[in-house]
Amino acid sequence: MSDTSISLYVHWPFCLSKCPYCDFNSHLADQIEIADWQQAMLSELSHMARFYSEKSGLAPADISLDTIFFGGGTPSLMPAELVEAIIDKAIGLFSATPHIEITAEANPTSVETAKIADFAAAGVNRLSVGVQSLDKAGLSFLGREHSPDDALYALDIAQSHLRRVSCDMIYGLPDQTEAQWQSQLEQLLARQLSHVSAYQLTIEAGTVFHSRTRKGEVLVADDDHVASLYHLTEQICAEAGLSAYEISNYAADGAASRHNLCYWRSGNWLAVGPGGHGQFWAQDGRYHLVNRRSPSGWLSDSLSQSHGCEQISVLTAREIFDNYWMMGLRMTEPRPLSHQHVSSKFRLDEVWLDNFCEAGWLVKETDTLATTLEGRMRLDYMLGKLLG
Ligand SMILES: C[S@@+](CC[C@H](N)C(=O)[O-])C[C@H]1O[C@@H](n2cnc3c(N)ncnc32)[C@H](O)[C@@H]1O
Ligand code: SF4
C-alpha cells in the first residue's frame, strides 16, 4: 500500500432477515429495483473517483486500485452481473494492481451458495463466509437462516472455486463451553482455511439482543470466560498455522485481508453505497466522507445528483492522531511511533505507556509500538488512558 493506492468498499444493505445481534446498516426489502441500484452505484463510484483524483492531485491512471470489498448487509444476495459491473467500472476508472484482492461477504444459505461460482466468474477472488457457529443451538440462538451443514457445504463450494476463503465466527455465547468452541474451530481449521475472523459477541444498542438484555436476560458469557475463549482461539489458530494479525483476525502467511489492513494502517479508501464511509490522504489533509444511511434516501440522492454522500470533512490533526492509534494498535504489527501525516505535537500519555509496557500489554522499541495478546484483550481501556 502506498499513498497512490486506493481501496474500494461497496455496501449492499439488504438481508433475508435481521439477526437479533446485528447493528450493521442492513434492511429487509420486498422489492429491489436492480437497474436503479446499478445506475446509482456506478454513478457514485465515478463521482468518488473524480473527487479523489481532484483532491489528491493524482491522475486516475496513476492511482492503483489495490482491493475491493463487497460488504453488508448481505452482498451474496446481489446479482452476480451487478457485482461484475461494479468491478469492471472500478478497474476501468483506476489502474488495478496486478494482484487486486476482491472480497465478498457471503451468507451460507443454499440460495447464496448456488451463486458462488458466478461471483468467482465475475471477478471475486476472496470470499468471507458468515458461518458464525457450527452448533445447531448456537445458530438458532443467533437467529441465523442456515444450519451447520449448510455452512460446511458453503465452505466446500467456496474452496472449490476460490483459493482465498475466510469465515466469520462469533464466540462468547452464554453457556458456550471451551470444549464446544474448540471443536467448532478445529472442524473449520481441518478444512485448510487460510483466514478466520472470530468476533466476541457484543450487545449493540438498537438490536433485539439489546432490548432483551435491558429486560434482564444475560445473552453473553462473562468476561473471564470470554478471556479464556480468546486465549483458546489464538492457541488453536496458531497450531493450525494461522497467526493473529488483528484483535479478531487470524491468517496464514500472506493471507491477511489487504482491504482491512488498509483501514487499520490509515490508508486510502473510497466507499460506495448507503452508510459507506471513505477516508483518504489529499493535498489539504485527510478527508472523511459519509454516505446517507437510509437505502431509499441514498438511492434517490444518488440517482438525482450522481452520489449519496451527505458529509465531507477534513479531519483535524487531533482526530488523525487518535485514529492512527485506535486503528493501529488493533494489529499485531508494530506501529511506527512517527508517521509523515501524523502531527508530532501530540503524544501518547508517557506514564500510562510505561505502565502498559511494564505490564506486558505493549512493547515499545526505539521507533515502534506494538500490542501483545494481553494488550489486545484490554485495548479499549488502554486507548482511554493513552489518548487521554
Ligand atoms: C457485516 S457483518 C455480516 C456479514 C453477513 N451478512 C453475515 O451475516 O454473515 C460482518 C460480521 O460481523 C460480525 N458481527 C456482526 N454483529 C456482531 C455482534 N453484535 N457481535 C459480534 N460479531 C458481530 C459477524 O461475524 C458478521 O459475519
Ligand atoms: S448479521 Fe449479516 S445477515 Fe444478519 S442482519 Fe447483519 S448483515 Fe444481515
Q: For residue range 141-169, what is the model confidence (pLDDT) as tens digits?
A: 999 999 999 999 999 999 999 999 999 99
Residue nearest to atom 13 of ligand 1 (CA): 199
Cell of 129: 463466509
259 CA from centroid of ligand 2 (Å): 20
Q: For residue range 336-347, what is the model confidence (pLDDT) as tens digits?
A: 999 888 998 999
Residue nearest to atom 6 of ligand 2 (CA): 22
Residue nearest to atom 16 of ligand 1 (CA): 22
CB of 15 within 6 A of ligand 2: the answer is yes
Q: What angle do CA 236, 240, 241 make, to 5 degrees?
A: 115
Q: For residue range 286-297, what is the model confidence (pLDDT) as tens digits?
A: 999 999 999 999
For 54, 241, 243, the CA distances from 48, given in Å and listed in that order, are: 10, 39, 35
Question: To which H or E segment does residue 164 belong?
Answer: strand 164-171
For 151, 189, 307, 330, the CA distances from 229, given in Å and listed in that order, are: 22, 16, 43, 18
Residue nearest to atom 11 of ligand 1 (CA): 168
Q: For residue range 215-243, what is the model confidence (pLDDT) as tens digits?
A: 999 999 999 999 999 999 999 999 999 99
CATH superfamily of 5-262: Aldolase class I (3.20.20.70)
Each domain of the chain, given as residue ranges in start order, spans: 5-262, 317-388
Q: What is the mean pLDDT of residues 348-360?
A: 97
CB of 26 within 6 A of ligand 2: the answer is yes
Ligand 2 atom nearest to 143, measured from its CA = 4
Check: CB of residue 386 under 8 Å from CB of residue 337: no
> Which pLDDT score is estimated for 2?
56
Cell of 86: 461494479
Q: For residue range 80-133, what is the model confidence (pLDDT) as tens digits?
A: 999 999 999 999 999 988 899 999 999 999 888 999 999 999 999 999 999 999
> Which pLDDT score is estimated for 62?
94
